[in-house]
Structures are given as structure tokens and as C-alpha cells.
Chains A and B, each alone.
Chain A
Amino acid sequence: MLQLANVRKVFKSATESYVALDGVNLDVRIGELFCLLGPSGCGKSTVLNILAGFEQASSGSASANGTPIRGAGRDRVLFFQDAGSALLPWLTVEENVRFGLRVRKVARADCDAIIDKYLKMVDLDRHRGKFPAQLSGGMRQRLQIARALAVEPAVLLMDEPFAALDALTRRRMHAVLLDIWQSTGKTIVFVTHDIAEAITLADRIGIMSVGPRSRISKVIDLNLPRPRDLTNPSVARIFMEIEALLAPDVARSEERTLAH
């Protein structure tokens, strides 16, 4: 479905060049919920931006359904952590969803039903007349989800969408996302630095090493029933396994932050 083969990404500035990614291989299956997990500065967002088409790989190949990714595709929708700036703040909840339908020239007669359907799905239909600034952080993320689902993409690319939410809201959003994923069968690539979040959501977790020259060092197939309880011994074992895998990289990531 989504494939990266031997992807290398170099960021060049006037004085230096930085090899962010080197030898990244990734194969996301149709209908899968794939989590990219790694400490900050490991290039997770860069991978996602390459999949979305907003950045080009310096070498190697990126493809969706076998066709090379060139520019933003209509079948892949990228999600942002900061829903406040990704949404159109001068439009109401309903108008934000309508925006995507309008630019895709969906027939006017069909719009209302589609908007109804997805606003109900994320439980925002009672708030359709409000502006994004009047919504809570969780509601804004739900609006972002509804707006994306309304244009019926095959893939959702999510860049730490719930990282700025409080813990309780985040847990609810996980339930909402899993619910929607199971009922719509979308392919989802979800970037996070939170091990618990990755374990709660993912079919498979790709673990990224810290940069420079980050790559996906290991892919873990979770194969656990949902909902997953972190206190369950088998789940907890995986948690500790991943934590041990990440530990040296977390230390390196911190040093990097200091050095900069």
C-alpha cells in the first residue's frame, strides 16, 4: 500500500548538510494501523511528510499503491498535531467539513448527508454552528478527523495528533480513532513518541533510531487483542521490551538537543 525503499533524506543549509534519514524501508499494508515510534528528533515527521508528498526523498523511492508519490495525493490526508492552525478558524464546524467537499466539487445535494454522517461519527453534530476557537482540544482533533474522513481518503497520516491533549482526553481519542478505523477500514500511519499510545493503537510498530541517519530499526508485530490493557502481563512485557530498545536512543536524543 505505502512503501518506502532505501529512502535517504538530506537537509541542506548554506553551511552544512544533515542526513536525517538513511536507508529507511517501510511497507504499510492496506487497512493496517501502523505506528512509527521514536524519540524526538528521529525523523518520524519527515517520514510522514514524504509519505504525504510534502517532502521528496533525496534518494530511494516512495510509492502509494505502486505509483511513485509526487506531491500531495487526494487519497492520503495528513493530520496535524496543532488542529487549531490546521482548521479554518473563520469557518464553523460544519463549514470546515464542507470546505473539503467544496474544493473536491462534490455535488451540493450530497454534501449535507456526508457532513451529517461524519459529524455524527465523531460526535460533533450538536456543535456544528460553533467556531474552532469555541471547541476544546479534543473536539478540534475530532473535527480534523471528520473533515478528513468526509473526503474519503484511503490513508490517514497522523503526526502526533493527540500529543497536546490531556491524558484523559487522549485516551478517549484513542477509543474514537480505533472505533472509526475498525468501522471504515482506513489505512493509518500514526506517528508518536509515546510507547503506551503506540501499543494501544497499533497492529505493528516501527521503531525509529535517533538521527542523524535514522532508519526504522525494528518492526514489532503486536498481534494482541483490543482493547489492550497495559497492566496485562503480556502487554507490559512488550512495553518494557520497547522501552529497553529505545533507552540508548532516548539518551542520545537528549544529548543532541543539548548540543544544538
Chain B
Amino acid sequence: MADIRDTDLRESGEKREGSSLAAAIRADTLRVPLLTLASIALALLAWQVMSTFIFNPFLIPPPLEVVRTAIPMLLSGEIIADVSISMVRVLVGFTMGSLAAIVVGVLLGRVRLLHDLVDPIIELLRYLSPTAMIPIAVIWFGIGELSKYFLIFWGTFFIVLINTVAGVWRAPIARQRAAECLGASQIQIFVLVVIPSAAPYIVTGMRVAMASSFMSIIPAEILAADSGIGYLLQKSSMLLQTNRIFVALLTICVLGFMVDRLFRLLVDRTLTRFMSFVTVT
């Protein structure tokens, strides 16, 4: 055992020195944000040119016009109010939907009989998008908050559920058997081995579901609400206020982007251990 130290060991990272490396890193870290800025600036410029010289500025209001409309809407708190209403709806529905889906998914992933019984129903129901459920949700729950929670729940549930089941199923047999050999009980194997092994799948499902929640809250609010970003869109459309429509659309873009980043940041902070091995077999 004396000489097993050398080639067998992979010391953490090669330590290359010198300022050229540091400069390269700096250049690399700056490159992406710079290109992102350039991309947005070019898009804004193209938009401004098109709406001024090619299309009717009423149909496509130029960006400067949109900004001019946005400032008072921001200052008066109108946008903030609508955003926070929509956000709360998404968060409540998403949280409930994810929790329910994880609990049910873990059960279905483990109990084969239950899965085979329930799976056909899931396979049919998952094609009912939240939008398709709006009419019945309004009858069941009215146009208040409850119907929005239900619709987001509906959209989240199936996505997270299917991912959770897949994750539980794909927990490596070798890992479970190894744990059993070490003396783990079936419950310990399930809680300490199977569920952590499924975590990357569950988180991926939640991220997809978060994006889909943002898409389904809008039609829900357009058709059946008296507040929220979707309602702002609907109201502005009735009044032919294209400026305000564009402000609402931009708000949705920025909001979705920010929430996704926030979600990733949260996962990175709390679940890195469980996520980092996904690519390693």
C-alpha cells in the first residue's frame, strides 16, 4: 500500500499561475454581460427604427414611448401592485402544486401497483392545460384568488409529478443495494438514498413548472380576474392603449427572467450537493 499515492490521486485543480490567466478570466467574465447588453441595445434600436419608419407607431409603439408610459405607471405603484398580485398567485399555486406533486410522486415512484393504477389517468389529465381549465375553475372557485391558485396548482402538479416519479425510479439500484448491505432499513434507503437521488429530477421539474406558471397566470387573469398583470393587459386592450400593453409585456419578460435566476440561485445555495453530481455517472 506504500506507493498508491501518486498517479492515482487527482489533486484538486491544477494551479496555474500568472497574471495572463487572471486577465483571461476577467475577459471571459466580461464578455458575456457585454454581449448581452449589446444584444438588448441592438434589439431596442431595431424596434425604434421599425416603429418609427416602417410600421404604424400606434400598433408598435417605439421603445421611448413605452418608457414614457412606464415611468408614471411605476411611480404610481400601479405596476408594482399588479406584479405583486400575480406573483403571490404564482407562488401560492406553485408551492402547493410542487409539494403535492412531490408527495404523490414519491409514492407513485415507490409503489408500483399504485403507479400502474394512477398513471393512465395522469397521462390523460396532463393534456388539460391550465388555460383549458379556466372556464370550469371560474365556475368552481369564482374569479377570486382561489381559482388562480387552482389553475397554477394544476399546471405545476403534473410537471413536477412526472419528474419526481422518473427521479425515484432512476435512483441507481447499485446505490440502494449498497446501502442495504451496509445495514440500512427499507425506510432508511428510501429517505436517505432514493429521495436525495431523485432531487435533481424534482428540481428540474420545478424549474420547468415555474416557467409554465408564468405562462398560465396571464390567460387566467385576462379571462377571469380584476387585478394582476393579465388584467392590466386585458384592460389596456379594451381601451386600445398599446403603450400600456407593451409595458405589461415587458414586465412579464423581466419578471420571468428574474424569478428563474432567483430560483437557480436558491438551488445553488441550498442543494448544490444534490445537483452537482448529475453529469457524473
Given A84-B281, A89-B280, decide whether A139 and B9 contact each other with a Cβ distance below 8 A. Answer: yes
Complex-state Cα separation, A78 to B183, whole angstroms: 11
Are A100 and B10 neighbours in the complex by a CB distance under 8 Å?
A: no
Q: Which of B1, B7, B273 contacts A123 (CB 8 A)?
A: B1
Taking the closest CB of chain A, its distance from the CB of B195, in whole angstroms, is: 11
Which chain B residues border A86 with CB–CB below 8 Å?
A: 172, 174-175, 177-178
Chain A contact residues (Cβ within 8 angstroms of B): what range? 35 or more
The answer to whether the Cβ of B57 comes within 8 Å of any Cβ in the partner chain is no
Given A85-B175, A104-B182, A148-B182, decide whether A169 and B281 contact each other with a Cβ distance below 8 A. Answer: no
Interface segment among A1-9, A128-136, A185-193, A216-224: the answer is A128-136
The answer to whether the Cβ of A72 comes within 8 Å of any Cβ in the partner chain is yes
Are A99 and B4 neighbours in the complex by a CB distance under 8 Å?
A: no
Taking the closest CB of chain B, its distance from the CB of A12, in whole angstroms, is: 18
Are A103 and B182 neighbours in the complex by a CB distance under 8 Å?
A: yes
Are B1 and A179 neighbours in the complex by a CB distance under 8 Å?
A: yes
Are A136 and B8 neighbours in the complex by a CB distance under 8 Å?
A: yes
The answer to whether the Cβ of B256 comes within 8 Å of any Cβ in the partner chain is no
Q: Which of A84, A89, A90, A123 contacts B4 (CB 8 A)?
A: A123
Are A88 and B184 neighbours in the complex by a CB distance under 8 Å?
A: no
Which chain A residues border B1 with CB–CB below 8 Å?
A: 123, 175-176, 179
Are A76 and B9 neighbours in the complex by a CB distance under 8 Å?
A: no
Taking the closest CB of chain B, its distance from the CB of A152, in whole angstroms, is: 11
Are A88 and B175 neighbours in the complex by a CB distance under 8 Å?
A: yes
Are B182 and A77 neighbours in the complex by a CB distance under 8 Å?
A: yes
Q: Which of B4, B172, B177, B196 contacts A172 (CB 8 A)?
A: B4
Residues of A139-169 at the interface with B, using a CB-CB cut-off of 8 Å, are 139, 144, 147-148, 151, 153, 168-169
Which chain B residues border A132 with CB–CB below 8 Å?
A: 277, 280
Are A103 and B188 neighbours in the complex by a CB distance under 8 Å?
A: yes
The answer to whether the Cβ of A138 comes within 8 Å of any Cβ in the partner chain is yes
Residues of A19-46 at the interface with B, using a CB-CB cut-off of 8 Å, are none
Which chain B residues border A130 with CB–CB below 8 Å?
A: 12
Complex-state Cα separation, A99 to B276, whole angstroms: 20
Number of A-B contacts (CB under 8 A): 103
The answer to whether the Cβ of B26 comes within 8 Å of any Cβ in the partner chain is no
Complex-state Cα separation, A82 to B177, whole angstroms: 12
Q: Which of A103, A127, A144, A169 contacts B184 (CB 8 A)?
A: A103
Residues of B114-160 at the interface with A, using a CB-CB cut-off of 8 Å, are none
Residue of B nearest to A180 (CB): B1
Given A77-B181, A104-B183, decide whether A175 and B4 contact each other with a Cβ distance below 8 A. Answer: yes
The answer to whether the Cβ of A74 comes within 8 Å of any Cβ in the partner chain is yes
Q: Which of B10, B181, B185 contacts A148 (CB 8 A)?
A: B181
Complex-state Cα separation, A72 to B172, whole angstroms: 17
Complex-state Cα separation, A134 to B12, whole angstroms: 8
Given A85-B172, A88-B193, A90-B196, decide whether A76 and B181 contact each other with a Cβ distance below 8 A. Answer: yes
Which chain A residues border B174 with CB–CB below 8 Å?
A: 80, 82, 85-86
Complex-state Cα separation, A175 to B1, whole angstroms: 6
Interface residues of B (CB under 8 A from A): 1, 3-5, 7-10, 12, 172, 174-175, 177-185, 188, 192-193, 196, 199, 273-274, 276-277, 280-281
A-B contact pairs, 8 of them (CB 8 A): A78-B178, A82-B281, A84-B280, A86-B174, A88-B192, A89-B277, A123-B5, A131-B276
